Structure 1
Amino acid sequence: MNKILVLPLMLLSISTFAQLSTQDTLTSRNLEEVTIIGDKGKSLPGAGQYIGVRKLEKLNQPNVNNVLRIIPGVNVRDEEGFGLRPNIGLRGTPVNRSAKITLMEDGILIAPAPYADPSAYYFPTFARMQGIEVLKGSSQIKYGPYTIGGAVNLLSTTIPSTFKGFAQLSYGSFGTNQQRVWVGDSRKNFDYVFEVNRIASNGFKKLDNGGNTGFDRRDVMGKLRWHTDENVRIPQSVTLKVLNTTEEGNETYLGLTYEDFKANPIKRYAGTQNDILDLKHNHLSLNHTIIPSKNLAINTTAYYSYTLRDWYRANTFGGKSINNILADPITNQEGYNIMSGKANGAIEGQASNRTYLSKGLQTNAQYSFTTNEISHKFQVGIRYHTDQADRYATSSTSTMTNGVLIQTGIGFKGNKENQIRNAKSFATFLSYDLSYKGLKVSPGVRYEKVNIDFQNYGTADNARLGTALKSAKNDLFIVLPGIGINYELNPNMSAFGGVHKGFSPPGMPSITSTTGQAKVETSINYELGYRFNKSGLNAQVVGFLNNYDNILGSDNVSGGGAGTGDLFNAGNAKIQGLEIGIEYDLLHKKNANSDLKLPVSIAYTYTDAKFQETFVNGGGDWGSGTINKNDLIPFITPHLLTTSIGIENKKFNATIIGRYTGETRTKPGQSDAIVPNDNIKYNDVNTITGFLIIDVSANYKFSQNFSAFATINNITNNKSIVANLPQGYRPNMPLSFNIGLKAEF
């Protein structure tokens, strides 16, 4: 039956993701850059939020984590304080390295290797974005491969309709600074935008014996678009996008023991002074859009991405692993003293060099027409995608001498990890929207065919001759149906709901697992929601249930595991919750002639996540041993609340935002919470205490072209533990400020 269903889809389609406007009659306007949600969120048969450039300009937040927290249903775990490699989950999906959500920039998959190695060690620079979209529920079947939680689409600088330029300069605490300039124009047949962005910092953490703990990230982007004349019979456009990103980050995986965190939360051990991340990312895409008739539009994109991520990190101190030292610094006193620079001794480090390639071709065809009072829209698409992760990890030796780390030897390339991960995928979807008066019904189906190839050459075969090669393959296909409904009760309110089958790929087949191969992760997802928009009040309430047939655990160093990258079957699980989003202008009815506004907002998420069967876990991020039915799934925060209040007029605006992250379980279980405290060992802790961070942002417009802004982050200087991963307790950025100027011309 599956094959019968898939065949017509393959014949009809031409690919996925870059969605066109939902107008019934297509015009040359569709040749411009478009969004997934945009201003269509009120009619989606599912939950979707769009944050545009005006909101981002008010917040002045280069950290994507702080912006995502204003969207219900989004769970974020902080790591290095700047949001360069965010850990994002949607509706209870794991947050680690954003590996279980579909990440896109301008509608194109942007994780370095979405199928073969999905951990997002590269994440687009949020400081250069003009918008962000989050899609959840049944509407997301168009945007795989990760369709359980949802999709995040970042919107880069668009080509302006007339000549326009923008410049931004800012400076703040810890030497944090940004320079951003872009200029663009639309001419008769040729349009363009060119952008240069740099954001850098000395870092807020303090290395023993001094040193830079910050980063320097630079982006250069260009978009060139050719298009036909405005009134031609068949409008067309071709857009070339080129992006180059580089980053040098003095960042480490190593956090702190509880005693050291309590004494100085921004301390960083001397043993990490040589830890550094070298990141390079190049992206190229070519998009063609054509409107053969007033009801038909076809959008096709070819894309290619190259990402290099080489992260050197200290691994052992005095022969003791970091995990052992954190678990018991007293027993492993010698290793701890070397780590903190108090004693001389040997250190083993590892450079994890990974090269990622990602490329594909995707097309979306949309056909709209009307019969009597019924509107119809068909969308059909295909994407062919391949990606690869080439992983070399090489160990080296150093010695700590009087607090200074000196390298003493480098092993041969690949002596810690030497493998290639390949994936090919063919994805297609068919969706149909039927609209009659206030009712919109949207059934659809997605098909994914994935071929995975894992080649492990072993740590002795530097030349990859295959003398110790171990390989494994996994081929799979799956059909994912869904349906969403939106009904306008009246012009001001609507109800929506949906059900769809969710899917996540199973990762690389294991060559070492003793618990069996990972299966695909699947779930049946339900949602029911209500929207209201009247008299300055905009509200949305959504209940959701993700009923997993098989939820997958993982083993990554960034998630607290050993780093094999293996996935583990965990069987049935249930994640359910409630999302509430409210926005209201308190002065909406006070004075209709005044431009003064007093906006307030609330974003609340409740999530209940539990395993539904007892099993023996294979290790990794959830630990080893038996996990019991009704144990809490770790790293999913039950209560998330973000509130804001602002004041604004034509010249000035200011916003205060409070972000509360509730108590978060870090280990499976049903027992009482054990939080970090004196005399509590690191491995005995199962919960991180909740915390509240308050930020303030203000903007003042001197003229039509010039404005100034200021932000204060963590205004109360909260010093809570925000995470215990990857290795040890980690702080939020302390009290900090940032001031800057913006110019439009």
Structure 2
Amino acid sequence: MKTTLVATGILLGLGAFGQNTPDKSFADDSTAPKTRYLSEITVVGRGSRSDYQALPEVVGTNIYAGKKSALIVLDNVQGNVVTNTMRQVLAKVPGIHVWESDPSGIQIGIAARGLSPNRSWEFNVRQNGYDIAADPFGYPEAYYNPQLQAVQRIEVVRGQGALQYGPQFGGMVNYILRNGSEISKPFEFETQQTVGSNRLFNSYNAIGGNTAKVNYYAFFDHRNGDGWRQNSRYYTNAGFGTVTYRFTPKFSLSAELMRSNIRSQQPGGLTDLQFEQNAQQSLRSRNWFDVTWTMPALTANWQINPGTRWTTKVSATIGDRNSVGFTRAINIADTINKSTMQYNNRVLNGDFYRNYVLESRIITDYKLAGRNHTFSGGIRAYTGNTHRLAEGRGTTGTDYDMSLAPGGRYDRDINFGSQNLAAYVENVFRISDRILLIPGLRYEWLRGNASGRIGYKTNGQDSLLQDVTRSRSFLLAGIGAEFHVTKTTEVYASFAQAYRPIQFANLQAPAATTDIIDQDLKDSKGYNIDLGYRGKLKSYLQFDVSGFLLQYDNRVGTRTFAATGSTPAYRLVTNLGSSTSKGFEGFVEFNPVRAFRRNSNWGLIVFGSYSYLDARYSSSFKDSIIAGKRVENAPQDIFRGGISAGYKGFLLTGQISHTGLTFSDATNTTAIAANGQSGPIPAYTITDLSASFKATRSLTLKAGINNLFDKRYFTRRAGGYPGPGVLPGDGRTAFVSVGARF
């Protein structure tokens, strides 16, 4: 069952709906792996039309045996990848909770198992194996996300993935970009042009090729639109280039560079009454958001011998995040000031991220007691700095402008630093032909610090941040197991410790003198447990069903203490207690045509993914108001299901997405606040329709309708930017794409 990839990449799903054999697009057998060897790249394809696969035991220098994992093949996704519609892209990964408050697809917010979807910050988010978040330790928000036309596959690893990748509790999401390794000729040109509702226009253009020594790929992507709501214009520009040079059949060096700039008008939130009256309306026209992300990376791959591979990556994240707007509560109008006959000054906020990381990994096969085993180990060195300018007094204008008003200044000017050294080891012990044990350890050393101005005193002098530095080290342990019931099915189990480092926000005491940071503040720690059964039945059924437990200890929050004697009242930022998430996650995909008839031009695929979640704060939580309550942003039920039907190169897919009711705060407030910032988030069900037609081997047409029945819904209530208030999801929208390769 072991699949060792001597590769910079693995591409699953070479037989996408009509992709390789358009005249018999439903005739292949997904249980018959196809392997094609290039000089140093192994491309593994199962001939499956499904966009979902389980990851092999070993990929490159990474071990996935015993872990809850999923692989999404973007060529096979039937849905709107142009605007990164994640409810469609990750439909077959059960339990993924998606925030859908950004119609442009710029800001992806996903989570699982009761964790927060805020810019995916509970996942370790990576691109081509390196970090892309603002700061994976102190501020792990993913402001940048790749455009999915450029993505070859998405790897999702839960639980035990924390041992190989570090924080967070959610596991790891890795976007693998196209790199040209699958192209078999010296030059190929690819283009995809899309138009859609609300003046959506997207142009994706790429070149790539492969020679005896070199493979390369480069793209430029532009997208713009007006958005479904008022005041929600946006544009994105992204360019990427990568070159791999094979010095020998065993050693290669790859260099890549991604540059992305996005700018979007933020329509702000609504009250619940305003949402009911007209969800498309906007009461903010002067709020803007701008992100520029630059990521260079250099990767060395060395096949030391047939059973040993070494990979080293050096990468950087150079990012700027700026916002300008009127951010008062949504029930306070942004109107002309009668005394000045101008708008009020807007608030400026800017972050500047400069992060550098080296990761080196090795994997090797060896024999012990007459059996083959696999060892993997790695080291990581990271340093990052975030310079934060906040609460600046901006202009009274309406367009994007980060200029300070005359005499204006930034109230906050803070530098956050984080450093990390880590090492991990993991081993696949093949106890028998059917039983695998996968223990692992990870050592972490972390340091976070903050310095600078957090405001001004009444006499005009700087109010400086209290001296806050946190250094700590610890060991994480985990173990996984697999029992191969048949050649294509297995029982898997894993236990792994996880952690979430102290965030930058917890290192800066607010300017108010009554707010204090606990000097014994600790990282949040806990563990994930998974137990499941997955696999394939012949060529027509694949499934993955499992139960899970996520224990989240040392949650950080604020306690308020009343005045006692000579001690004034104060608020303490401290560790409050624990939460427990437990439940079920299941996925099944069935092809009835393939089950009863072979080599048919007709095809029918039915799938469903469902998760049940019970996520609650511990009854011993220090804040008695929260003890025993449901964790916020934790829907009890998430179901996504669909049917794909096709003939030869034509495919039509309908999909339903249902997300249960969630609470917007830890106190489970049921009363709706007048400003829309607190209250329940109702359950909702969305229906999407998509179609594709492969006219020739080089020409593809795609079209789709998102939210077919024009359902009004929202997925989050924001307490601040980009709200505050209710942030509506999009109503009905449509798109049409034409793609070609030459």
- TM-score of the superposition, structure 1-length normalised? 0.83
Q: Tell me if structure 2 keeps the 8 A contact 1:455–1:472.
A: yes
C-alpha distance 542-298 of structure 1, shift in aligned 2 (>3 A): same
Partner residue of 1:633? 631
Partner residue, 2:532: 529
Q: What SS does structure 1 have at the residue aligned with 2:603?
A: coil
* Partner residue, 1:622: none
Quick one: structure 1 residues 567 and 695, their matched pair in 2 at CA, closer, same or farther if it must change by over 3 Å? farther
1:597 aligned counterpart, secondary structure: strand
Aligned pairs for 1:486-525 (under 5 A) are 486-508=482-504, 509-512=507-510, 513-514=515-516, 516-517=518-519, 518-525=521-528
| Structure 2 residue aligned with 1:11 | none
Q: Determine which structure has the larger helix proportion and give its number.
A: 1
Is it true that 1:708 corresponds to 2:701 in the alignment? Answer: yes
Which of 212, 231, 255 is equivalent to 1:240? Answer: 255
Match of 1:332 in 2: none
* Residue in structure 2 matching 1:112, options 129, 134, 137: 134
**C-alpha separation in 1, matches of 2:399 and 2:424:** 57
Q: Deviations over 1:216-248 (max 9, x none)?
A: 101111111110344xxxx10000001111112
Match of 2:685 among 666, 689, 692: 692
CA distance in 1, matches of 2:350, 2:537: 54
Aligned residue in 2 for 1:215:
234
Distance 1:659 1:594 in 2: 30
Hey, what does 2:354 align to over in structure 1?
357
Residue 251 of structure 1 contacts residue 277 of structure 1 at CA under 8 Å; is this kept in 2?
A: yes
142 and 414 in structure 1: CA distance in 2 versus 1, 3 angstrom threshold: farther
What residue ranges of structure 1 are gaps of 5+ in the alignment?
1-16, 208-212, 316-320, 330-334, 556-565, 618-625
Question: Which of 181, 184, 196 matches 2:205?
Answer: 181
Tell me by how many angstroms 1:446 deviates: 0.8
2:165 is aligned with 1:170: no
Task: Check whether the contact 1:179–1:198 (CA below 8 A) recurs between aligned residues.
Answer: yes
Pairing 1:378–2:393 present: no
Residue 659, structure 1, aligned to residue 657, structure 2: yes
- Counterpart of 1:449? 445
How much does 1:706 deviate? 0.8
1:4 is aligned to: none
Taking structure 1 as reference, are residues 308 and 413 closer, same or farther at Cα in structure 2, changes over 3 Å only? farther
What amino acid does structure 2 have at the position aligned with 1:727?
A: P
The answer to whether the Cα contact below 8 Å between 2:677 and 2:726 also exists between their aligned partners in 1 is no
Query: Separation in 2 of the partners of 1:456 and 1:598?
Result: 61
Partner of residue 322 from structure 2, selected from 305, 310, 330: 310
C-alpha displacement of 1:724: 1.7
Corresponding residue for residue 732 of structure 2: 735
1:420 aligns with 2:415: yes
SS of residue matched to 2:77: helix
Change (3 A) 1:54 1:122: closer
Distance 1:62 1:381 in 2: 35
Q: Mapping of 1:245-644 within 5 angstroms?
A: 245-252=260-267, 254-269=268-283, 272-315=284-327, 321-322=328-329, 326=330, 329=331, 335-336=332-333, 338=335, 347-371=344-368, 374-396=371-393, 410=405, 415-435=410-430, 436-459=432-455, 468=464, 470-508=466-504, 509-512=507-510, 513-514=515-516, 516-517=518-519, 518-535=521-538, 536-553=540-557, 568-615=574-621, 626-644=624-642
Question: Shift in Å at residue 357 of structure 1?
Answer: 0.9
| Structure 1 contact 273–405 (Cα < 8 Å) conserved | no
The amino acid of 1:266's aligned partner reads Q
Distance 1:567 1:83, change over 3 A: farther
Measured at CA, do residues 398 and 263 of structure 1 come closer, stay the same or move farther in structure 2, by a change above 3 Å?
farther
Equivalenced residue count is 670
Q: Quote the Cα distance in structure 2 between the aligned partners of 1:168 and 1:406.
A: 33
1:52 and 2:76 matched? no
Distance 1:292 1:473, change over 3 A: same
Distance 1:408 1:218 in 2: 23
Shift of 1:29: 6.0
C-alpha contact 2:127 2:176 (8 A) present in aligned 1: yes
Post-superposition CA distance 1:339-366 (Å, at most 9, x none): 999x977524211111111111110011
SS at match of 1:83: coil
Deviations 1:465-506 (A, max 9, x none): 988464311001111000000111112321111111111111
Q: Kindly state the Cα deviation for residue 284 of structure 1 after the two structures are TM-superposed.
A: 0.5
Does structure 1 conserve the Cα–Cα contact (< 8 Å) formed by 2:162 and 2:496? Answer: no
- Structure 1 stretch displaced more, 436-445 or 586-595: 586-595
Contact 1:192 1:224 in 2 (8 A): yes
Match of 1:62 in 2: 83
Distance 2:319 2:581 in 1: 34
SS where residue 198 of structure 2 aligns?
helix
Describe the superposition over 1:532-560 as per-residue Cα deviations: whole angstroms up to 9, x where unpaired: 411411111110011223223599xxxxx
1:713 partner amino acid = N
The two structures, once aligned, show a CA RMSD in angstroms of 3.4
Q: Residue 161 of structure 2 contacts residue 172 of structure 2 at CA under 8 Å; is this kept in 1?
A: no
AA matched with 2:362: A
Q: 1:127 to 1:202 in 2, by over 3 A?
A: farther
Offset at 1:83? Answer: 2.8
The corresponding residue for 1:744 is 741
In 1, the alpha carbon distance for the partners of 2:498 and 2:733 equals 41
Letter matched to residue 542 of structure 2: N
Q: Once the two structures are superposed, what CA deviation does each residue of 1:578-629 show, in whole Å capped at 9, x if it has no partner?
A: 1011111122233213121110111111111111144455xxxxxxxx4342
Which is further off, 588-597 or 696-705?
A: 588-597
State the percentage of identical aligned residues.
19
* Structure 2 unaligned residues grouped into runs of 5+: 1-6, 12-32, 46-51, 59-63, 560-571
For the structure 1 residues 591 and 480, does the alpha-carbon distance in structure 2 shift closer, same or farther, using more than 3 Å as the test?
A: same
